[in-house]
Amino acid sequence: MEQAEEGQGLTALLHWNALMVTVCLSLALAGVHLITQKLDYQSLAAMLVLIAIALALLVTSADFFIEGARSLAKRAGIAEVVIGLTIVSIGTSLPEILVTGTAALNSTDDPALMDMAIGNIYGSVLVQITLILGIVVLFKPLNIRPNWLRRDGLLMLAAVVLLSVLLLQGRGLTRLEGGLLVSLYVCYIVWLLRNKDRIREDELELVDDLKSTEYGWTTVASLVMVVLGLTMAVYAASHLVKHASELALMLNVPHVIVGTTISGLGTSLPELTVALMAAKKSQGVAIGTLVGSNITDPLLSIGIAAMINPLTISAASYDLIAYLIIPATILGVCFCLAMMWTDFEFQRWEGGVLIGFYLFFLVLLEMQRQGFLAL
């Protein structure tokens, strides 16, 4: 009993400290923004600091949103298995949803932001299934659940392929296609809810791993966490898109590359944190966390963005997206699934191979940018 109370107290202390960090990051972002306004954004160092602060604020505020939403869901009597497969999955994808949606919303004034929105989704999927998964496996070899792999693993591949087909056949996404992607994601969630009893046994470990202790938050505190987390996340996402776009112009780098690398990696930090926490308990749920997010991103995240504003791939970025970024992402997903299917376990050397795959992709991106690789 005393240990449980002590654990709850420690959890509360950690989250209040995180609140202080979130507030400080918000003030720092606003302060550096005012300073760089006077410098007309000529300082590259100041721009990088702004992007780093925006990313950090985005991650910490997304964590607040997740914790508050889970607390409210538990108080409402929603089953833990449903919380783990829905709220946590959407919550860890909140940065991608906000960055992609913000880029789509602002793309009327700057069409190149559409490339950043598309690049952010593919960059997030690729970095999670190669670099982040590789880091997790190096930290702790993982076992794979065959039932989970056949259900969510294949759905992840299908979601990425469907998004790619829709993007390439029309050189973008219409509102109708965005609505289709969102509808498919809703159908997936409804299916999980209707079959929760059947999958409860297979997913029980996942929920236990993501739940360290019972949270002692009141309803009011939970609501504050949800509102504060979402507000700060929206604020950080808007700054991240703005400053990443300015960095692209400053360095003469295509927006799609910034979205695929800097933004894609930065918005995937919540998945890395949750996956590493799960891996500590020697469970294969770390992979489930990443794959769950990679179902959300190509269906819900970019679907919402297309419904906000139809997405169009610019002529300057089409070849790069069609012949390098999309094939690399699909190949990375297939490569990862093939490794999972072999003996249903991930070894450390396989994690190293996945990290090498992502680094090779970065080399190809740079070669293309420098003109050494023709597409």
**Start-to-end C-alpha separation, the chain:** 63
Residue 46 covered by a domain: no
Average pLDDT over residues 317-346: 89
pLDDT at 302 over 80: yes
User: What integer pLDDT is reported at residue 183 of this predicted model?
Assistant: 97
User: What integer pLDDT is reported at residue 23 of this predicted model?
Assistant: 47
User: What integer pLDDT is reported at residue 299 of this predicted model?
Assistant: 94
What is the rounded distance in angstroms from the CA atom of residue 259 to the CA atom of residue 196? 36
pLDDT at 215 over 70: no
C-alpha separations of 68 from 6, 211, 246, 325, 340 in Å:
20, 13, 33, 35, 33
User: What integer pLDDT is reported at residue 288 of this predicted model?
Assistant: 65
What is the rounded distance in angstroms from the CA atom of residue 177 to the CA atom of residue 191? 21
Provide the residue type at 366 as one letter. E
Residue 168 covered by a domain: yes
What contacts 366, CB < 8 A, 6 or more positions away? none
Which segments of the chain are extended strands (E)?
142-143, 172-173, 311-312, 345-346
pLDDT at 340 over 50: yes
Total domains in the chain come to 1
Residue 225 covered by a domain: no
- What does the buried/exposed string (b/e) look like for 68-89 if buried means 16 or more CB atoms within 10 Å of the residue's CB? bbbbbbbeeeeebbbbbbbbbb
pLDDT at 81 over 60: no
- CATH number of domain containing 142: 1.20.1420.30
**CB of 96 closer than 8 Å to CB of 244:** no
pLDDT at 260 over 70: yes
User: What integer pLDDT is reported at residue 224 of this predicted model?
Assistant: 77
Choose the weakest-confidence range: 25-34, 45-54, 77-86, 152-161.
25-34
pLDDT at 125 over 80: yes
Q: For tokens 């507030």, what's the residue? A: 23
Residue 73 covered by a domain: no
What is the rounded distance in angstroms from the CA atom of residue 313 to the CA atom of residue 168? 9
What is the rounded distance in angstroms from the CA atom of residue 86 to the CA atom of residue 296? 10
pLDDT at 18 over 80: no
Sign of the C-alpha dihedral, residues 173, 174, 175, 181?
A: negative
pLDDT in tens, 351-367: 899 999 999 998 998 88
Structure tokens at 22: 């979130």
pLDDT in tens, 129-171: 998 888 888 888 877 777 777 778 889 999 999 999 999 998 9
Residue 282 covered by a domain: yes
Residue 219 covered by a domain: no
- Computed over every residue of the chain, the mean pLDDT equals 75
pLDDT at 90 over 80: no
User: What integer pLDDT is reported at residue 282 of this predicted model?
Assistant: 44
- What does the buried/exposed string (b/e) look like for 154-177 if buried means 16 or more CB atoms within 10 Å of the residue's CB? ebbbebbbbbbebbeeeebbeeeb
C-alpha separations of 137 from 37, 125, 156 in Å:
43, 17, 19
Q: For tokens 């970025």, what's the residue? A: 317
Residue 359 covered by a domain: yes
User: What integer pLDDT is reported at residue 84 of this predicted model?
Assistant: 56
Average pLDDT over residues 167-185: 94
Give whichever of 3-17, 46-60, 119-133, 214-228 has the largest mean pLDDT.
Answer: 119-133
Residue 259 covered by a domain: yes
pLDDT in tens, 238-257: 666 666 667 666 767 777 88
What contacts 196, CB < 8 A, 6 or more positions away? 79, 81, 82
Tell me which residue range forms the domain holding 278.
81-212+236-370
Task: Considering only residues 231 and 210, tell me which one the structure prediction assigns the higher pLDDT.
Answer: 231
